[in-house]
Amino acid sequence: MRTGKQGFTLIELLVVVSIIAVIMSLLLVSLQLVRQKGNETATRSLMDSLQVAIGQYYTDWGGVNPPAFMSTGTPSTNEGAEMLYLALNSRTGRSTRYYGSAIQQDKVSDTDDDKNLEYVDSWGDCLVYFDSPNYAKSCPYITSDKMQFTATPQKDPKTGRFYKIGSFMLWSIGKDAVNKNGLEPNVSNFN
């Protein structure tokens, strides 16, 4: 029979610590999943806002979407995203409205360091943008980690036609920073 004050044994302390460690690891995994889902939701929200702004531009410009490329030469890095930002945030032309003014400035960055801004997703990478007249083109892009990739609009394998004919394609390369040209697991306005 024990008498007096006795503390926990080393085994009891190790069991308690290991139980706490297991609970913490489960909690951290859950928090990571919630954070990931939040980033995806925020990116979809940004893309919804951009679709509204592009719709306003389309209406004001008589059925023309913002251009994805300048008419001169080979596309420069991130040009589609830069042209979208420029089109939605300039006060020239038929409208004096800032189409993109409702979009928060923390959703804008210069990921390719060329002094031109682009809309960025929740992971800090610029969004990819193509207008339908330029679906046959491809464009070099660079991520915030300076990884380069080539973006090319995709065709629907069932019909052999480009997705979003007569409209535009907008996508984020997503959490894994791997370009699938707007197809899963990328976040896009067409899948």
**Per-residue pLDDT reduced to its tens digit, 87-135:** 888 765 555 555 666 677 778 888 888 888 899 999 999 999 999 999 9
User: What does the pLDDT read at residue 93?
Assistant: 54
Confidence of residue 3 (pLDDT cuts 50, 70, 90): low
Handedness of CA 8, 9, 12, 14 (dihedral sign): positive
pLDDT in tens, 168-183: 999 999 888 889 988 8
User: What pLDDT is stored for residue 91 in this prediction?
Assistant: 64
Q: What percent of the chain has pLDDT over 70?
A: 91
66, 131 Cβ separation under 8 angstroms:
yes
Lowest-pLDDT range of 15-19, 34-38, 51-55, 86-90: 86-90
Q: Give the pLDDT score at 173.
A: 92
Average pLDDT over residues 30-36: 88
DSSP output for the chain: ---S-----HHHHHHHHHHHHHHHHHHHHHHHHHHHHHHHHHHHHHHHHHHHHHHHHHHHTTS-PPPSS-SSSSPPTTHHHHHHHHHHT---TT--S-GGGGS-GGGEE-TTSSS--EEB-TTSPBPEEEEGGGTT--EEEE-TT--EEEE-PPBPTTTSSBTTTTSEEEEE-TTTT---TT-TTSEES--
* Mean pLDDT within 147-161: 90
> What pLDDT does residue 100 have?
66
More confident residue, 61 or 102: 61
In the prediction, which pLDDT does 169 show? 93
**Structure confidence by residue, pLDDT tens digits, 7-23:** 788 999 999 999 999 99
Task: Work out the mean pLDDT of the chain and round it to a whole number.
Answer: 86
pLDDT band with cut points at 50, 70 and 90 for residue 61: confident
